[in-house]
Every structure is written in C-alpha cells, then in structure tokens.
Amino acid sequence: MDKDVLGTMHVPVKPQQNFMKMSLDSSIRNGDLDDMNRLSGTPNSSISSSPHWKQTGSPSVSGQSSRGSQKILQIDLVFELQNVAERLMSRLYMLRQILDYPDIGLHQYSDSYWKAGILPDLPKLCLHIAKKFPEHPAKMQLEKVDKGGLDHLHDNAETQFTAMEPWFTVLLDLMRFREQALRTILDLSSTVITLLPHHNPLVLHAFMNLFCAFVRVHILSDKIPRKMLLQVCNLTHIMLRSGQDHDSYHRLVQFVDSYDPPMKGLHDDLNLVGPRIGEVLEAIGPTIFLGADYRKLRSEGFLSPFHPRYPEKLTNSAHPARAQELVNVECYRDWVILGYLVCPAELLRSNGMDIAMAVLKDTLVLPLFRDEYILVHEEYQLYVLPKIAESKKVAKAGRTKQRDADQEYSLAKQVERRICDVHDLATARAESVHRERRTILKQELSQMVLFFMDQPSLLAPNIQMVFSAIALARFEVVWYFVHVGVLSGKSRGARAVPVDIDVSDPTIGFLLDGIEKICGLIWKYTSAIRGYALGYLVGAAERIRSLLGSPDMVALDIDVELEKLFASVSGCLDNLPKFQNEKVATATISLSEFRKDWLSILTLVSSCRYSINIKHLEKATISTGKESIISEGNMAYLWSRSVDDIENQLSQHSSFKVLYFYRQHLTTVFRHTMFGPEGRPQHCCAWLGLATDFSANATESMLEEREKLAGDIISYAESILESIMGGFEGLINILDSEGGFGSLEYKLLPDQAANRMNHAVKYGNPLSKSMRHNSDLPLPGSESEPSNRDSVKMLEAAVQRLTSLCTMLNEMEPYLREHVARNFQRRIFSIITVDGDLQRPSVFEALLHRHMHTVHLIEQHISMDLTNCLREILLTESFTGPMHYLKGPKTNENADGASVSTVCDWYIENIVKDVTGAGVLFSPLEKCFKSSKVVGNFYAEAVADISELKAFIRIFGHYGVDRFDTVLQNYLSNLLNCIAIILRSNKDSLEALATSMHDRLKRESILKHMCELEALMAFSLQLGHTLSFRSLLAEAAAEVIENNVPLLFSLLSDVAKYSPTFIPQREEIHKVNMLASQVGAISELDTAIVHSVFSRMEGSDDLTWYLLPYLYMGCMACRAWSSSTFSIHTGGFNNNMHCLARCINALMVASELARSEHKEFKRQVSQQQSDNTTFGPGKLHAEVLSSEGTALAEANIKLMMKTFVQCSATIVLSGWNENNRSPLVAKLIFLDQFCVISKYLPRSTFEDHVPYTILRSIYQLYYENAVPALVLISPSRRHSANAAPIPARSNHIDSGGDSNGGFPNFRGSAFSGLNKVSAQLRKPVLDMEASSEAQTAVKAADSSGVQLSGPLDYGSLKKVSFANKGASNGAPTMSPLQRFTMSRSGPVTYK
C-alpha cells in the first residue's frame, strides 16, 4: 500500500515508488540530490536508479510536459525531507541518550557523559573550548588551561576522532538539511496559490508538516553538545592533519552560531514565511475553537452518528465536514504552537491571539520527538515576548506618523499581557480541563460502541467521524502521559512545581478500552466499510465526469499533461466495479494510481507557475451549482483510502507508539486504576495491546535500537501481565477474606445459640441493653442491615470484576493456571500460621474451602480445570515421600511437603514433647490434650482434640498421617532405647528384687539402691503420652477414612483382623497391619506400633525384658506420686500418670511378642538345620505361629502383668500410713486403670489384692466433691480464636481401639451407679432445669442404697471372690455393676 500525504494526516510518512513525480525546481542543484541521498540514509545507487528522481512528469505523459511544469517543485522532495528530519531526530535522540541527557544551557554533565566514549574524558579542557565558542581552538592557548589533558588528547587524537566522527557527520547532515529544507519551504510558501484546509488539504499538510519538522529538528539539536562536539572534533583533526581544519568546519561554525539559540536562527530564516503561516493558522482557527469546546462537541452531536435534534433519523452526523476536520486537531494544535513561536509577528493579526489562547490555555508541554519536549510557556516568555515588545516599541515610535500605530500598539500590549496571563491559567487549570475532556470522551466512546454494536450498518457512513473520535481520545491519552512528572512554574518567576496529574484517573483505561473496541468493530466490518466507500466512489466518478464535461471546463485552456491526468483519474473511478450488482472481492482493488494522479493534479494546479490553477478550476465548476471538482476529488481521495488503505488509516489515528517512552508511567497508572474503585478489569487487554504499537518506533538503520526496542516491549508486556495477574490474585484474596465470602459464612453455632438463650432468659428481652453488652455475636442476616449494605455492594463489585476479568483472560490458560496455583500456594503459607504460630487445622480447612469456592466461581467463566490444579498443589504440600508401608523406605526425591512438615513438627514439639513447658496432658474422656498454659496462640485443647486432627487429615490426607507416624516412630525408638538402658543398668537389682519380694526390709533396701527411677518415670510417661497422641490421630483417621472410603477401611480392618501371625513375619502382611494401625482399623494400636519399633531394636530378645514388672514396680515408690491427683472430668491424672499405664501395657505385650517370635524363629532354623537344609536369614519359609505358641505368649504376658499388679499392690499397701493417704489413692486408681486397659488382665485381678469396696468408696468420694454447676458457653472458635473451646465428648468408646486406650468412661467403673451424674458432668448444663436435674440424679443415687462410705472404711469389708473366671479363659468380662449385683459379699446389698 502507498503512504501518500492525505488531508487527514499529521505525522510524517514515507513516500512509495508509485507516487506521481513532478519535475525538479530549477533552483535545486544536481548536487543537492547527492546530499539528500546521504541524509536519508539511502545508497546513491538505489536512488539514482529510481525513476522518481529522473522523471520530469507522469509516465503516461513523459516527454510532453509543458514549459511551465518544468519549474514546479517536486512534491516527493517534501516527503523525503520529512523522513530525513525524522531520521535526524532519531540520531540526535540516540546521542542524547548515550551522553546521559546533559544540560547544555547550565553546562551540567554527569560522569556517564564523560565515560560514554564519544568525547574525551577531559572535562576541564572540553568545557573551556565549548564556552569559548566560536573562537578557534588554536587561539585559545589550551596549554595554559590543561596541559596534561591536551597532551593526552594529542596522543589519542586518532582514537578520539574516530569516536566523534559519526556524530560530527550528524552536524553536517543537520546543516545540509537546513539548507535544503529552508529552500523548499520558502519555495512552497511563495509559489502555492492557496493553503486553505478546505481547498488544498493535501499540499497544506505536506507544507506544514515539513515546517514543523524543520522547527523540531533545530530545537532538538540544541539539547546535544554541538559546540563542544564541533570544537573538539576539529581540534583532533588539526592534530592529525598538521594544523589543517576540517573542510566543513567554518560552515558548521557559522551554522551553529546562527542557531544559538535555535529560535534565533528560526526567526531569521523563516521571517519571510510568517505571513503564509499566519494565513494557514487563521484558516484552521474554527477547527481549533471547536476542538477546544468539548461541551459543544457533545451538545451539537459532532461525535454522534445521528443529529441531536432529530435522533430518529439515523443517517449521518449533524456536521460531517466539520467532524472530518476534527481528526486533525492534534496536528493543528502543534501548528499553532510552533507557528506563533517561530513567527510571533502573526500574533498581531486580528484573531491570532484568540487562536493561540485556545491552545495555550490547556497546554504546558509540546512534544518534540519521542519523550523530548519543550515547556511551551517558558519558550513563549523567552522568545515571543521580546518580539512583541519590539513590535510595541516600533508601534509606539510611529504613532505620530501612521494612522494605525495606536491600534497596533494597543494590540501588541494586549498580546503581551495575555501571554503572561495564559501561562498562569494553564498551570492552574490545564489538568482539570483535560480531565473533563477525558470524561466526556469516555461517555461518547461508550455510547458510540453500544450504538454501532446495535446498528453496525451505520458504521461505514460515519467512518470519518469515528476516526475523529479515535484521534481525539488518542490525543487526550497522550497528553496525560506527556505531562506526568513535568515541572512548570508561573510567569512571574515562581518556583517550578510538578503538574498535578492524578495517577489514579480511571478515564485512561476507559479511553483505551473504547478505542480498542471501536477498532475491533472497524476490523469486523471492514468489508462493509469498503463496500460503502466503493459506492461513494462510483457516485463521485459520475459527478467528476459531469464536471469535466461542463461548458466552463471545456472552455479552459487545459494543456495535454493536465488533461491526461484528469482522464486517468476519471478512468480509475470508472473502472471500479458496481458493488451493488457484482460480487467483487474488495480486498483486491487498488486505488493507489488514482491517488497518485490526483496528488499530481493538485501539485500542478496549486503552483502559481502553472497556467491553470485551483481558482480557475473552482470557478469553472462551481457554476454548476454543485461541489467543485477540487472538493469532489479531495473527498474521493479521502474515501479511496477506506477501500484499500484502511489498515494504515486506522493505525495512523489509533497508534500509541509514543507511549513506549512512557512505559514506567503506563505501568504505574495501570496498577493504580485497573483495580481501583472506578477501574474495570476488562480494560486490561487494552493496556496490554499497547505493546503492539511500540514496534513502530524502530529505525531501520539502527539495529541496536531495534534490539533494545524488542526487549523493552517484552518487558512491558510482562510487567502488565504481572500486574493483571496480581490484580487477579488480589480479587481472589478480597473474596477470600473475612470481609468477602467470610462475611457470608457467618452462622450461630449451637453453643452460641445457647449463650443467647441464656442471656434472653436472664434479661428477659433479647434486645435489652444488658444483653447487647454481654453478647457481641451478630445475628444471622445482619449483613442485610442498611448499615452493612456497603460491604455487600463491595463484595458484589469484586465478584463482578473477577468474573469480567476471567472472561478477558480465558485464552491465557497456561499463564492463568500458573498464577492461580501460585496464589493458592501462597495462600496456604499465609494461613497455615497466625501471628507466627500454627493455625488451628479446622480454621485452616475452612479458609482453604473458602478459597476453593472462589476458584470454583472462576471456573464457571473460563474453560479450564483449576480444581485439579489446586489438588496438585495440596498434594505437593502433603507429599514428603512414598508412604512407608506402601512403597518401601522413603526417599527425598521430589518430596517437598513444606506445609505438612510445618504442622507435624509443631505438634511434635508442642503437644508430644511439650518443649514450651505448657503442662500438656492427655484427657481420655474428652479425647483431647489439655494444657495449663497457652501453647503458641491457643490452649492445647483448641488444637489437639479429635476434631482438629480430623480436619488435619481431611486437608493432607493419609500422607499427613504417614508423616506423623514416621516422626512418632523415631521418637518412640529413642524412648525405648533409653528405657532399655535403664533396665539393663538395674538388672542385678531387679533379679535380687524378684527373689526378695516377701522380705520387706530387703525389698526396701533394693528399691533404694535402684538407679534412675525418676528418669525411667519421665521416659515412660513421655512414651505413654506419645502413644496417646498416636491413638487419637488413628481414631481421627479411622472416622475420616470410614466416612469417605468405607470399603477400603473395611478391607484393612478385615485383613488385619484375620491374617495369621507368621514367623518370620511376612513383609506384605506386616505392612498391611501397620497401615491398618495408622488408620485405626485394629484394636491394639499401642501394641502394634511399640512391637514394630521393638522388633527393630538391638537386644529385643534379651531375657532382661522379663524383669519389666519389677522395674516398673520400683516406679511405685517415685516422688511423682506425691503430687498425683485423679480427675473425674478428664478420666486421668493431673500429671499424666494414666499414660504410664498405657506405656507399661504396651511394653510388656510387645517385649513378650518379640521374644516369642525370636524363639519361634530359632526353632525353625534348628529344624531346618536338622533337615540338612541351609537357608539364609532372609530366605526362611514363613510359617504360621502355632496355637500353642500363641497361647504360651499370652500366658507369659498375663503372668508379667499379674506379677506387676501383685508386686505393685504389695508396695503400695505396705508403704501406706496415716500421714500420707494421697499417693495411696492415686496408686490404687492407677492400678485399677491398668487392669482396665489391658485385654490380657481381667479387672478382677486387682480385686484379689484390694477389695472393690475401697475403690468404690474412692470413686464415690470424687463424685461427691464434684457438684454440677451452670456452665456458660464461651464464644465460638470463629469469634474467639484464642479461647480454648470445650471439645465434644463422645459417649461411645470402643473396647480397645479408641483414643482412651481402654480407660473407663465410668459406665464400667466401680461407681457406675452415678453414671448419670458423670454424664451430666461431661456435658455443659445450659439452663437451670438441667442443673436441678443433675442434683436430683445425685439424690436418687443416694436413695437407691448406695452407701457413701469412706475410702478406707474396713468395718464390714469382706474379700470378694468371683466364681466366674471367664475373663481369663476368653469369656466376656462382666461389668463392675453386674459383679456387685451378683455378689453376696460387701457392705451393700443390691436388690
């Protein structure tokens, strides 16, 4: 496609080879062509071979040009000079970048300036030479300034000259450009008949664009060290060429001096062009005034596809011609600023100052090139006001001689005052004015998008108006970013302050999004636009043909060249297909020849040197009562671009390539506005799409610049994507917060409802003031109250923004999935701890569910599975390696599990080991751990009950259980080794004790000499405590797995229950049994884990383990018993003594089983050796342990336990005295509990040594001292995270597989008659009726015949012997209540 100059263009474009070329002006020498070739960066050979530089006319009329046409300026030279100016500014900009943006006026240079490698690193010498400009360096006596620096420069003269030569060439190019461009501007100004926008827009834009480029290049050149570069480069040339100056030195000195400052040279050079510039600016004045009045634009419907006074007529804009002119507002504003700056005398025209005021009052900065700019008002103060003052002085001096001198003086004085006033006005109001304009454009673009989406057929007739709306919106966006961070002072010397730009202005996003949507509609309906444009051109062809055949046109003396051009134009239009009747692919139609010929016609008839000019043609065709042929041709030219060049048109009006140089401001504004109160996340694609325009800044001749540009584009896109995803994650986190979906999850828990009921009963009125003070729990539905509606609206807005953003990001599946996963992982790390300590697993689980609900909301608006992604993250956080009992030993390959490790380590350190000394105890009845002090942020019962462990398992699955099990086994192994060491160290004493039990004195002497009994007690308590935690964890796992995968749980339970015992143990069965032990699918949890650890210990088959009963019998004399107190509320002791029973039971069973297995293993080896069969230790055939072996092992276990109970009872009863009863009671309860938890030892065993009447009296005494009371409910966990909740207590406890480890829940205790009272004590009493019911139950128990005797009342005590010995032969054991009922002994008769 060709890129010719249109009436609607305001940026330099490159000429193409299919343009119509005119003959060269005779004033342009042949040598100028060579200069142009080099300036444009084009090789001479390619230019010289091009026909554009050799032709003197159109190819169709070559050799037939008239004599006058040979003196007409070649229009391609104008376009080429514009491109040369752009390339020169690119090189000047690059030099300024390399030198680190020096301040030439103040002579301030950074270290990077001297280290850049272009100028020598000799600041003293170089600054002196620059300040002495234009004096010749040879006359400056530089030896006196810096002798060492001068010698260094002389030694490295060739290197320095090579580094400076490319940039010295830039000065030469700049000088040659000035000569050629000035000659061209002066020629155009003097020869073009008219430059009015409605008569000759194409030539007008070519002329004014060249004029503005000429001014911009010279202003930008003042920002590089021209003087220093010229002087130092010539100095090195003198050193290399024996005192000879550079050939162009003196010309360059004259050029630089004449443009120091640039405005001085511009005023002198363009003085003759001033009247023509003033004429042009007056002609565009109406468009300038209209472009500054946005309210009029909206009220009069200039940007609306329908007439504001007749909205039912959906035909065209109310002012189509003026609406088309609005597309040029940005370039018109630049023309005004630069035109009056360079030609200040034109401000004295009748309406010159009004036009300038319309632009200056809302402008502070004029962009020169890329992000280089000048402060407009400062430039006017420096260079325009002196010229106006001079004019005022001249007018004042000529008052007595000229009639109009007074008027000129008054006008000059007024202009001077208004220039000063407009500076202060712009500083105060410019940003607010443009903010209002952006708001209006936002509304207009939104209405335009909705209208054309509903009525797409009206897009084509209004396409020029749409281009105007896009151009205005683009200008406002660019204005916003150009003024960010700009310092501007007032006219009267006030301190410069930054322009007040609001970085959180949401209109920027709306404008970018509106432009993108309108461009999308244009792309979507391109074929319709092309079809409409073809229809217009077909009609224009008929009108042009009619005008060419009019009598006045025929009467004109048109030469052959112009006649053939008109014929070519008419022929191009006549050859167009009739779109309504023919099926033609409009994409294959090219109208470049038509535009080339029409531009040639305008170039000819615009020149005063041609025989036929524009005025002749207009006069000849306007008499027909229709539009003139010039107007018809210009409109046809404009619509022709909508046929085959609409892509370039759209790119020209909607390109944001200049914003590449404001990338930092772009990202800042994006982050402040995208997810702000008025931002719209759906605008993110518009911000991201800006990167596609940045590549247009690349300069073909600068490869290093192109590489940097590509990297910066990628960096910008990544930063915007990161911001988008950061906002996306922020919206997720907002919804996942307590103020988001958390506020909708509120509900009263049962205990909170009971609390409210209690307050209502107490105060009578639920809404009373006292109740409101005592209860801060809001009622469900409170979020709908008027005072809380804002939070609900905020939540709805966040949901809407999230869903709209998801719709926009639907195609970014990998990126979106990655950020959702990353955000979820960060969320896990943030909620797993609270205030540096562990979060409760139940709260952690609830927060995870809430986050996943938000992700499920996202999934409804995108086409990807994010739930599976979250599961993978959870699996990563749970997996620490293959499970021990499924995949063999664990490895650290691909094992992270940071979250599960954090939770497990916290529980081990704070609950199991109690490293903080919080007094953590296990409560068998409540199935939780309790503490007397806070463990981290909570009491132990808040984080270590069965409900919290179930939440942990639901989060991390069985990988979490396996992680716990591994750590617990290692800890148990260490404890068992310590106990084994103590056992072996006391071996001799224990053997002596076993033979001296009946000798009291000798027994006491041996017990006194046993060592480390207190340490043994500590290790055993810790071991039992650990077993309690593992048992509680297994019970929690059993409930979770049985609820979710009941078949798997049943399978594990049945396999573990019915699988035989093999010697040696089969690995597969062992793993299944241990896996069942982990999930609570077997009853003997403690025995299984201790046996597993015991089997791997060295010396597990040692006969020393037979002495365990005597070792722990010695523990009955430890000092720890003196502070032991039993609690009926927990079912245990205040110092965890109940865990000692658990430890002793597990150790005795595990040690005997291990010894029996080892014995059986030896028997098999001996038998195989007798059969002359040799097997390695790992190759023995596993055999089922015989029933005799099993019975023998059980008999030995029973014997060990009976021995322990018998010996312990002996020591306890023999050590009792009247002065110390407390240890006796605790020890008796302990021994009773030991008999209860052991399945090998019937409870009646202890009755053989201590009558049950004593035990019953003890328990009864405990219950008498525990009076039921009204228990008020504390706030729920959700509202009081630091308060320790009251765990729910289950009434159902299994015989051996529960977390109590077989501890009585008082239904099977000696005091089972008061079971109802214990039940009342184990649950909260919520009202007075419940309290009175509990007291009634106590009285009923008294009246039922229960004698409340003291614990040591032996008056009517008789030994109780049971005839039923079913407990020892496997029959079910009778409950204590049944045994007491059937017994005829004892002080109480049961009826």
> Does position 75 have pLDDT exceeding 60, yes or no?
yes
User: Residue 1335: pLDDT band by 50, 70, 90 thresholds?
Assistant: very low
pLDDT digits (tens, 9 = 90+) for 958-990: 888 989 998 999 999 999 999 999 998 988 888
Beta strand pairing call for 921-923 and 1132-1133: unpaired
Tokens standing for 781? Answer: 């539905």
For the segment 1114-1141, the average pLDDT, to the nearest whole number, is: 87
Integer-rounded Cα radius of gyration of the chain: 50
By percentage, how much of the chain surpasses pLDDT 70? Answer: 75
Does residue 522 have a pLDDT over 90? yes
Question: What confidence score (pLDDT) does residue 1190 get?
Answer: 75
pLDDT-based confidence at residue 920 (cuts at 50, 70, 90): very high
Region of poorest pLDDT, from 95-99, 207-211, 328-332, 1209-1213: 1209-1213
Query: What whole-number percentage of the chain has pLDDT above 90?
Result: 22
pLDDT tier, 1314 (very low <50, low <70, confident <90, very high otherwise): very low
* Mean pLDDT confidence for 352-357: 91
Task: Specify which residues 838 forms β-bridges with.
Answer: 833
Lowest mean pLDDT across 131-135, 571-575, 620-624, 868-872: 620-624
CA dist., res. 1022 & res. 1019, Å (int) = 5
Reduced to 3 states, what is the DSSP secondary structure of residue 1184? Answer: strand
Within a 10 A sphere around the Cβ of 162, how many other Cβ atoms?
10
Alpha carbon 164 to chain centroid, angstroms:
47
pLDDT bin (cut points 50, 70, 90) of residue 773 is very low
Compare 1189 and 1056 and report the one with higher pLDDT: 1056
Packing angle, helices 898-907 and 867-878, rounded to 10: 50
Q: What is the pLDDT of residues 1038-1090, one digit of tens each?
A: 999 999 999 988 888 888 888 776 666 677 787 888 888 888 888 888 888 88
Higher pLDDT, 619 or 315: 619
Please choose, from the candidates 943, 960, 926, 944, the residue with its C-alpha nearest in 3D space to the C-alpha of residue 1037: 960
* CA quadruple 1088, 1092, 1094, 1098: dihedral, nearest 10: 170
Band of the pLDDT at 1259, cuts 50, 70, 90?
confident
Is a pLDDT exceeding 50 seen at residue 1325? no
Lowest mean pLDDT among 148-157, 378-387, 670-679: 670-679
| 1108 pLDDT higher than 60 | yes
Pairwise CA distance, residues 389 & 412, whole Å = 7
Pull the structure tokens for residue 516: 């993108």
> What is the C-alpha to C-alpha distance for residues 1246 and 1238, in angstroms, rounded to an integer?
12
How far lies 1280's CA from each of 116, 120, 920, 1273, in Å?
Answer: 65, 73, 21, 12
Q: Mean pLDDT in the chain?
A: 77
> Over 90: is that where the pLDDT of 334 sits?
yes
1034 contacts: CB under 8 Å, gap ≥ 6: 961, 1077, 1078, 1079, 1080, 1085, 1297, 1299
Give the pLDDT score at 952.
93
pLDDT band at 389 (very low <50, low <70, confident <90, very high): confident
Residue spans of alpha helices (H) in 1299-1356: 1315-1321, 1328-1343
